[in-house]
Structure 1
Amino acid sequence: MESMNFLAILAAAISALVVGFIWYNPKVFGTAWMKAADMSEEKIKGANMAKIFIMAFIFAILLAMSIMPMVIHQMGAFSLAQGELGVQPSYEAFMAEYANEFRTFKHGAFHGVLAGIFVALPILGTNALFERKSAKYILINTGYWVVTMAVMGAIICGWV
């Protein structure tokens, strides 16, 4: 069975923080996000940033682990070939033939973008609607997650 590549998961989790550092920089979308989120410098300075970054990193690890089966198709093959008595011979044959198929950075990024659009957008969009946030707020935050999930997917899928 395809095992978890913990170095790829760690790198993908770190990438979420790096993309966020760039995305929410005042020279990129930071100033627009602060206005759309009704955030001020005082609110930011009053926060426990160590706690925020530690929790963000933990959440990024969880996200990286959940993206793995979305971007690595071979993980689904194991559950399809597993019978009541264990792994079927067809699984070994499948993995011998296709173990590295679609294991590229490009393929992982593609599935990461799809996950961002079809998972992150509906979740963030629904929350933002009930919070009475603007379309700009939704687009900035969803854009971050689409890019982040693309990078995470690329790292996880391409790191063979």
Structure 2
Amino acid sequence: MAGKNDRDRTKVIQDRLQVLLTQMLKDDDNKYCVDCDSKGPRWASWNLGMFLCIRCAGIHRNLGVHISKVKSVNLDSWTPVQVASMQLMGNSRARAVYEANLPDGFIRPQNDQALEQFIRAKYEKKKYIAQEYVPEAPPDFPDGWYQLIEAEKQKKDR
């Protein structure tokens, strides 16, 4: 019986984390890929805390997991710490950090080769990073986590 309870608990946790990720994707800056600006990103680099389109997610995977850890927003399983990492950064802050020193009038590359060069310069070489940036560890649980649990409890109590 413990097996079924564990599966149920895992599903409840995943459902709650999906709610939080879906809410984040509604944020204006998260509606576009952080690297190429294409609409409706469904992928994320959870350790960098940013939302990506499928094309840029593929490039991020090629960077290696020591730089970018990529997963699908809704096809993969998430942990609370991974979602908290996304909340800590998000696309607006990620751009402020990783694109702090982009040249004035910079136009985002659109062809695959130029896009890969841009992404490698940005995250591998840290060419445009804000000098004062110090990464912080995400909390154990995402913002809104406890409110979701309370709402769930109240539904059950009715």
TM-score, normalising length: structure 2: 0.30
The structure carrying a bigger helix percent of its residues is 1
Larger RCO: 1 or 2 (CA < 8 Å, sep 6+): 1
Q: TM-score, with normalisation over the residues of structure 1?
A: 0.30
